[in-house]
Amino acid sequence: MTESIPSLAAAPSNAPLQIGGRRGEIRSVWRVAWQRFVRHRAAVIALALLCLEGALALAAPVLIPADLAIRPDPLNILQPASSAHWLGTDEVGRDIFARLIYASRISLTIGFLSVVVAVTVGTTLGAVAGYFGGAADNVIMRLTDAVLSIPVLFFLIVLSVSLGPSVRTMIVVIGLLSWMELARIIRATFLSLRHREFVEAARTIGTSNAAIIIRHILPNSLAPIVVAATLGVGNALLTEATVSYLGLGVQPPTPSWGNMLFNAQSYFFNAPWITLYPGMMILVTVLCINFIGDGLRDALDPRVRDR
């Protein structure tokens, strides 16, 4: 008989669980996950780079005047890298380095907040479909299939034009078009857990459905949620860059990596640095997020054993 999965929420806070320990060593779930994560060197380096990028983005108003990123300077148009402008200037004389830092605030905000929207919607619908089944499951899954059948980029362009391009619009639209895969994952997880012994025990003592979902089943579904959310940030960044590259995302003079590429496409051969640096920022950031997601997947996978 398959051994039941204990509920993390049901365990006393001062009683760590033993997972994969050697010689009777007792370690908490999260300590084990962290120890597994730090053994993934690429994920650790990626996390350090992403934290550095986030710190620079948060500190941008203190470190760099906003005028360097927004205000044109006709005397310094298309200047190569120098001591005054570390990465050169763009087609209207704005400092590339300053624009990259300020663009990271916009792009990362869109990436992370849109994933919050997607995780909230996907987890809620997937949990309801997987736990209750029946008509609720059929309706939610058919809705998921219908949304999946819509070309995401086309729908995103239509909504951006209809609602007006802005940071808020990008967050809401990307989030509402990114929940479907997570909903299917959460549904499958809930279907496999809803009849386990610890869930039946909770029902026997009169625990409400909401409490069972939140306190017992959801904590055992955190691993796929965390991994899907991490990888979703990378997809959201690419989506934002694509729409902004088409001129339908964040509008100038507010910088984002996507609209920096859109503005630079006419100067690719005359001033390649205008295209190179925002493209590299997108590439490095998405790679870092994917490495972190890979590390989290290994760290949170209960089938992985300590060696």
pLDDT at 241 over 90: no
How far is it between the farthest Cα atoms of the chain?
76
Q: Which fold has domain 29-63+83-300?
A: MetI-like fold (1.10.3720)
| Percentage of the residues of the chain whose pLDDT score is greater than 70 | 88
The answer to whether residues 182 and 123 touch, using CB atoms and an 8 Å cutoff, is yes
Q: Of 159-163, 255-259, 301-305, which range is least confident?
A: 301-305
In Å, what is the CA distance from 292 to each residue of 174, 178, 240? 21, 19, 20
Residue for token pair 């983005």? 57
Span 244-266, mean pLDDT? 82
Contacting residues for 270 by C-beta, under 8 A, at least 6 apart: 78
For residue 305, what pLDDT is reported? 55
For residue 153, what pLDDT is reported? 78
* Residue 10 pLDDT grade (very low, low, confident, very high; cuts 50, 70, 90): very low
CA 34/CA 79 separation, integer angstroms: 46
* Residue 4 pLDDT grade (very low, low, confident, very high; cuts 50, 70, 90): very low
Q: Of 8-12, 41-45, 67-71, 193-197, which range is least confident?
A: 8-12
For residue 198, what pLDDT is reported? 87
Q: What is the mean pLDDT of the chain?
A: 83
For residue 2, what pLDDT is reported? 39
Structure tokens at 222: 């955190």
pLDDT tens digits, one per residue of 94-105: 999 999 999 999
For residue 35, what pLDDT is reported? 86
Domain ranges of the chain: 29-63+83-300
pLDDT tens digits, one per residue of 21-43: 444 344 576 788 888 899 989 99
User: What's the pTM?
Assistant: 0.80
pLDDT at 114 over 60: yes
* Residue 262 pLDDT grade (very low, low, confident, very high; cuts 50, 70, 90): confident
Q: Of 4-13, 40-49, 107-116, 189-198, which range is least confident?
A: 4-13
CA 60/CA 129 separation, integer angstroms: 43
For residue 24, what pLDDT is reported? 38
pLDDT tens digits, one per residue of 177-218: 889 999 999 999 999 888 888 888 988 898 898 999 988 888
Span 108-112, mean pLDDT? 91
For residue 304, what pLDDT is reported? 59
For residue 36, what pLDDT is reported? 87
Contacting residues for 250 by C-beta, under 8 A, at least 6 apart: 106, 110, 165, 166, 167, 170, 240, 244, 256, 258, 259
